[in-house]
């Protein structure tokens, strides 16, 4: 009973007696970081809780860490001061009460401090390696190695999304390209880029292969290829336009060159490499597509059994690609290609200069130039030819007569001369006929023009007469 009465009395006393706040005076100091390099900035925060008066905020070693205040006034508050790192070493920043009391008027003493280390600048890291790489729920092929940049993952056709995870070897590096990715049937290539602190990048590639539910398989030279059914997996060659072809009742992405009527489709080999092949829909046949591009032309290779003198059939590597060509035996810088000009569709032999990376028509241009030059020369020098023929005949006549007069075989020589004379005369007649034909064509053309001009003049005259009559 007495115990209960005591408790009740204590409670009543607490309710009646007013409660006054009690403040505990304190002093503290902190830094935004305790480690920096020369030139770095340090922010020092002091907190005078329940204290009023003068303080000093100073560095123990101004050559290492400069800044602070020799005398500051604080009234129950916090303030931040800036210090600058000058050189390698350590310094202590101290807040020291000079003339300070608490809010009740009681004197306060007792300093606080924090030590700052100024370190040698760290060299930036060039490490751009991955520590780990995975496609969640699936196995990479080959297994992960930081020095291996390309990987493959095979998944079922029902999968629509995958998650790529990766971690970096160096904490200062950054990673881009991870996370959840949408996938479609066929190849889905994703890049994971690791960038070092110095800015140097390394790219890891993951090809997520979604199983083809209805593959179209073609066999070429004993090797099996799968027809690529996704346009995004193909790169359009220059001078070709996107189109489609029907294969097994499916629309297959393709490329068409209008000049040559060549159609290309993509085939993927057993290693996953995609190569363009020429496709003939009428025969359902495939032929490997090869082309060579110079500074001015692109030639599509065509098959031929023809042999070229001074050129030997061989294989050469140009721009990391191997070609079957004809190479000049005396100069290895020149090779012959049988094919089509992709821009014009012109088919024939082309001469390629490996050093200069130039292509020009071989037989076509040479023959054409010869024909043009010959025709030009005949036209320009036909009169000269006739004159020379006549002069030759005269000289031959004089020579024969001179020899025959002094020889017993005079009659025989004269007979041979007559035969030769007839041959020369016959040739002259042929040349003259050609000249006459050419002149006739020129005259006819000229006459037609003159008739046209006369007709025009006559029309003008008649019109003038008519106009004159009308005026009268």
pLDDT in tens, 125-154: 999 999 999 999 999 999 999 999 999 999
Q: Would residue 377 count as lying in a domain? A: yes
Mind listing the pLDDT tens digit for each residue in 390-407? 666 667 767 656 665 555
- Residue range 19-48: mean pLDDT, rounded: 87
> What is the pLDDT, as a whole number, of residue 462?
55
Q: What average pLDDT does the chain have?
A: 81
Question: Do both 112 and 53 map to the same domain?
Answer: yes
pLDDT digits (tens, 9 = 90+) for 53-94: 999 999 999 999 999 899 999 999 999 999 999 999 999 999
Residue 14 lies in a domain: no
**What pLDDT is attached to residue 152?**
95
List the single range of 156-165, 242-251, 359-368 with lowest mean pLDDT.
Answer: 359-368
Assess if residue 160 is contained within a domain.
yes
pLDDT in tens, 174-214: 999 999 999 987 889 999 999 999 999 999 999 998 988 78
* Helical (H) or strand (E) element with 42: strand 41-49
* pLDDT band for position 251 (cuts 50, 70, 90): very high
Residue 16 located in a structural domain: no
Higher pLDDT, 366 or 151: 151
Do 32 and 105 lie in a common domain? yes
8 lies in some domain: no
Q: Give the Cβ contact number of residue 262 at 10 Å.
A: 22
Same domain, 204 and 229: no
Q: Are residues 222 and 298 in the same domain?
A: no
Please tell me the predicted confidence (pLDDT) of residue 267. Answer: 93
- pLDDT of the residue at 15: 47
pLDDT recorded at residue 426 = 72
Q: How confident is the model over 105-130, as a mean pLDDT?
A: 94
Looking at per-residue pLDDT, the higher value among 215 and 195 belongs to 195
Main-chain dihedrals φ then ψ at residue 198, nearest 5 degrees: -80, -5
- pLDDT for 243 beyond 90: yes
The structure's pTM equals 0.43
Asked which of 68-72, 169-173, 375-379 is least confident by mean pLDDT, the reply is 375-379
pLDDT at residue number 133:
97
Q: Say whether pLDDT at 367 is over 50.
A: no
Q: Provide the pLDDT for residue 266.
A: 93
Same domain, 185 and 161: yes
pLDDT at site 407: 55
Residue 336, domain member (yes or no): yes
Question: Do 271 and 247 reside in the same domain of the chain?
Answer: yes
Same domain, yes or no: 221 and 303? no
pLDDT digits (tens, 9 = 90+) for 304-354: 877 777 788 888 888 777 787 888 777 788 888 888 898 888 888 898 888
Structure tokens at 70: 């020799």
Into how many domains does the chain fold?
Answer: 5
Specify whether the backbone of 379 is left (phi greater than 0), alpha (psi in -120 to 50) or beta. Answer: alpha
pLDDT, position 416: 65
> Do 225 and 284 belong together in one domain?
yes
Which residues touch 107 (CB under 8 Å, ≥6 apart)?
Answer: 100, 101
Together in a domain, 351 and 371: no
| Sign of the alpha-carbon dihedral angle for 67, 72, 76, 77 | negative
Beta strands in 172-318 (DSSP E): 174-176, 179-182, 186-195, 201-210, 217-220, 223-227, 241-247, 250-257, 262-268, 274-280, 285-288, 291-293, 298-301, 311-318
Banded model confidence at residue 370, pLDDT cuts 50, 70, 90 = very low
Measure the CA–CA gap between 32 and 34, rounded to whole angstroms.
Answer: 7
pLDDT score recorded for residue 39? 93
How do residues 36-58 score in pLDDT, each as one tens digit? Answer: 999 999 999 999 999 999 999 99
Looking at the structure, do residues 283 and 335 belong to the same domain, yes or no?
no
CA 47 to chain centre: 61
| Residue 61 domain-assigned (yes or no) | yes
Domain edge (last residue) among 289, 315, 339: 289
**Where a domain ends, among 361, 389, 408?**
361
**Does residue 454 lie in a domain region?**
no
Mean pLDDT for the stretch of residues 424-443: 68
Whole-number pLDDT of residue 369: 46
Average pLDDT over residues 31-40: 95
- Domain identity same for 75 and 104: yes
User: Are residue 249 and residue 274 in the same domain, yes or no?
Assistant: yes
Domain that holds residue 395: 367-444
For the ranges 21-35, 402-416, 419-433, the lowest mean pLDDT is seen at 402-416
Q: Give the whole-angstrom CA distance, residue 257 versus residue 270.
A: 28
Domain end point (choices 361, 388, 406): 361
């Amino acid at each position: 009973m007495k115990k209960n009465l005591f408790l009740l009395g204590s409670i009543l006393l607490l309710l009646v007696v007013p409660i006054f706040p009690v403040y505990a005076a304190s002093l503290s100091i902190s830094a935004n970081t305790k480690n920096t390099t020369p030139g770095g900035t340090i922010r020092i925060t002091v907190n005078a809780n329940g204290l009023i008066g003068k303080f000093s905020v100073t560095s123990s070693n101004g050559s290492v860490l400069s800044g602070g205040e020799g005398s500051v006034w604080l009234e129950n508050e916090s303030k931040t001061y800036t210090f600058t790192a000058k050189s390698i070493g350590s310094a202590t920043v101290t807040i020291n009460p000079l003339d300070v009391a608490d809010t009740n008027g009681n004197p306060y003493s007792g300093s606080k401090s924090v030590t700052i280390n100024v370190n040698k600048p760290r060299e930036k890291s060039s490490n751009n390696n991955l520590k780990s790489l995975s496609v969640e729920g699936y196995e990479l092929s080959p297994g992960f190695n930081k020095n291996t940049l390309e990987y493959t993952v095979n998944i079922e056709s029902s999968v629509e999304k995958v998650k790529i995870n990766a971690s970096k070897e160096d904490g200062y590096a950054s990673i881009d390209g991870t996370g959840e990715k949408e996938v479609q049937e066929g190849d889905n290539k994703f890049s994971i880029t690791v960038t070092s602190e110095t800015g140097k990048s390394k790219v890891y590639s993951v090809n997520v292969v979604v199983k083809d539910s209805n593959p179209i398989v073609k066999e070429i030279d004993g090797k099996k290829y799968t027809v690529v059914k996704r346009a995004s997996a193909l790169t359009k060659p220059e001078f070709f336009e996107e189109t489609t072809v029907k294969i097994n009742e499916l629309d297959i992405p393709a490329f068409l060159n209008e000049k040559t009527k060549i159609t290309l489709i993509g085939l993927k080999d057993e290693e996953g490499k995609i190569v363009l092949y020429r496709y003939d829909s009428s025969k359902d046949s495939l032929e490997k597509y090869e082309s060579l591009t110079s500074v001015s032309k692109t030639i599509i290779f065509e098959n031929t059994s023809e042999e070229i003198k001074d050129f030997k059939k061989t294989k050469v590597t140009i721009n990391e690609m191997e070609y079957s060509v004809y190479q000049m035996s005396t100069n290895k810088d020149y090779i012959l290609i049988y094919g089509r000009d992709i821009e014009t569709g012109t088919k024939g032999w082309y001469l390629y200069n490996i050093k200069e990376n130039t292509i020009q028509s071989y037989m076509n241009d040479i023959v054409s130039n010869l024909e043009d030059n010959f025709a030009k020369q005949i036209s320009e020098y036909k009169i000269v030819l006739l004159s020379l023929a006549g002069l030759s005949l005269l000289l031959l006549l004089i020579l024969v007569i001179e020899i025959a007069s002094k020889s017993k075989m005079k009659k025989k020589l004269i007979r041979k001369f007559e035969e030769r004379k007839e041959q020369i005369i016959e040739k002259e007649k042929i040349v003259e006929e050609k000249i006459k034909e050419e002149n006739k064509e020129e005259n006819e053309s000229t006459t037609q023009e003159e008739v046209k001009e006369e007709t025009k003049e006559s029309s003008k005259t008649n019109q003038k007469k008519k106009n004159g009559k009308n005026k009268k």
